[in-house]
Amino acid sequence: MPADTSRARHIVFAVAPDLVLLDACGPIEAFWRAELTMRAPSSAASPASEPCAYRVTLASIDGGVLPTFAGLPVLAERLDALDPATIDTLIVPGVPIDDSTVLQAELVAWIAASAPHARRVASVCTGAFYLAAAGLLDGRRAATHWRNAAQLARRFPQIEVDDEPIFIRDERAGRVVWTSAGVTAGIDLALALIEEDCGHAVAMQAARRLVVFMKRPGGQAQFSEALAAQSAAGGAFDALHGWMAANLHLELSVERLAEAACMSPRTFARRYVDAMGRTPARTVAAMRVEAAAHALAQSRLPVKRIAADCGFGTEQNLRRAFERRYGVLPGDYRARFSAINA
């Protein structure tokens, strides 16, 4: 049976040795900021007299001092000391995963036995491997860190692994399972859980306290176009991509980009496609849409001004680009993702 949610919701982080620390402490901070919002006398979401929104427990198989991947030890409770019936949300953070990693069998067994009692189950980053090993992702769509997505798919072929979303909510047969991408995506996941529990206003206030997006622009990309471009190029065009991101308002033709890269246009175009697997024009277009999304979410600038600043020229060009990329108009995007309007 699901846990009683009429009181503070019990969030349990079931952790393994070599825990990726931010996978746990990021979401824990988000839940705590939501609790602070619920406690605040001026909160429009909840009177101060109501109970706290969340109670968080970090627990491991052995309890006590737990080593983490970052080297900073944490103190954990014992999982067998918890009553599974009191767990509202079970979250499994990640650990470093490679082809030789052996999952902690006792933790897999505990997750398999305890998850049915929780209202919902979630993983952060490579915590998806533990949910998968416990049989909780069979037949479901799931996310994990982009570097481990192919490995998760190979190891557990019964899962539909998607390496694009920040997080995925999969509800089947009356059971809800959430999975998220890598590391900081755990904060995105926690804010989504908070919004589901406490409403948009509380989640937005928690995001503001953390100084993060409540929903990242686009919702899908796990890292920015500029970073993705630099990663794909292996460093060959790092300086150029930084220059492009700072000069999106200019006419970024192949000739101008080639000049910035100190190459002839023909040589630049050939080497760029070889390194990136796409044309310079496609990279410019992706960077411009991302920059416009950020401006819409983080400012009150008119759409016409954002279109000019990001190099679209006209508001109509920006609208067309947004409809292609996000399936919504810029105004609708701002209404949904703005960190200012809530």
Query: Which burial class, exposed, middle or buried, applies to 81 when counting CB atoms under 10 A from its CB (0-12, 13-18, 19+)?
Result: exposed
| Non-local CB neighbours of 82 within 8 Å, separated by 6+ positions | 12, 57, 59, 114
User: At which of 210, 234, 262 does a domain end?
Assistant: 210
Kindly state whether residue 220 falls inside one of the protein's structural domains.
no
Q: What is the pLDDT of residue 155?
A: 96
CATH of the domain at 189: 3.40.50.880
User: At which of 175, 210, 245 does a domain end?
Assistant: 210
Domain check: are 119 and 45 in the same one? yes
- Output the CA angle 218-35-126, nearest 5 degrees: 50
Kindly state whether residue 116 falls inside one of the protein's structural domains.
yes
Q: What is the pLDDT of residue 41?
A: 57
Question: How large is the average pLDDT for residues 297-306?
Answer: 90
Domain check: are 133 and 275 in the same one? no
Q: What is the pLDDT of residue 219?
A: 43
Domain check: are 190 and 70 in the same one? yes
Structure-block tokens of residue 281: 């024009």
Domain check: are 197 and 279 in the same one? no
**Active-site pick, 25, 52, 125, 198:** 125
| Non-local CB neighbours of 335 within 8 Å, separated by 6+ positions | 341
CATH of the domain at 256: 1.10.10.60
Kindly state whether residue 4 falls inside one of the protein's structural domains.
no
Nearest to 185 by CA among 156, 154, 142, 140: 142
Instruction: Bin 327: left if φ > 0, else alpha if -120 < ψ < 50, else beta.
Output: left
Domain check: are 323 and 248 in the same one? yes
Residue pLDDT, tens place only, 196-216: 998 888 888 888 888 776 665
Domain check: are 308 and 180 in the same one? no
Q: Which residues pair with 58 in a beta bridge?
A: 13
Place of tokens 């590391």: 183
Total structural domains in the chain? 2
Q: What is the pLDDT of residue 234?
A: 52
CB 11 within 8 A of CB 91: yes
Q: What is the pLDDT of residue 322?
A: 87
Structure-block tokens of residue 291: 């920059």
- Output the CA angle 71-72-78, nearest 5 degrees: 110
Kindly state whether residue 29 falls inside one of the protein's structural domains.
yes
Domain check: are 229 and 205 in the same one? no
Q: What is the pTM of this model?
A: 0.66
Q: What is the pLDDT of residue 326?
A: 73
Domain check: are 170 and 286 in the same one? no
- 101 vs 5, higher pLDDT: 101
Name the residue range of residue 27's domain.
Answer: 9-210
Q: What is the pLDDT of residue 218?
A: 44
Q: What is the pLDDT of residue 307?
A: 95
Domain check: are 38 and 187 in the same one? yes
User: At which of 185, 210, 235 does a domain end?
Assistant: 210
- Give the model's confidence band at 342: pLDDT under 50 very low, under 70 low, under 90 confident, else very high: very low
Kindly state whether residue 269 falls inside one of the protein's structural domains.
yes
Domain check: are 146 and 74 in the same one? yes
- Type of residue numbered 180: S
- Give the model's confidence band at 286: pLDDT under 50 very low, under 70 low, under 90 confident, else very high: confident
Is the pLDDT reported for residue 328 higher than 90? Answer: no
Domain check: are 205 and 276 in the same one? no
Is 310 marked active-site? no
Kindly state whether residue 34 falls inside one of the protein's structural domains.
yes
Question: How large is the average pLDDT for residues 169-197?
Answer: 91
Residue pLDDT, tens place only, 161-174: 987 788 899 998 88
Domain check: are 231 and 204 in the same one? no
Laid out side by side, the sheet with 54-60 consists of 64-66, 74-78, 54-60, 9-14, 89-92, 120-123, 175-180, 167-172
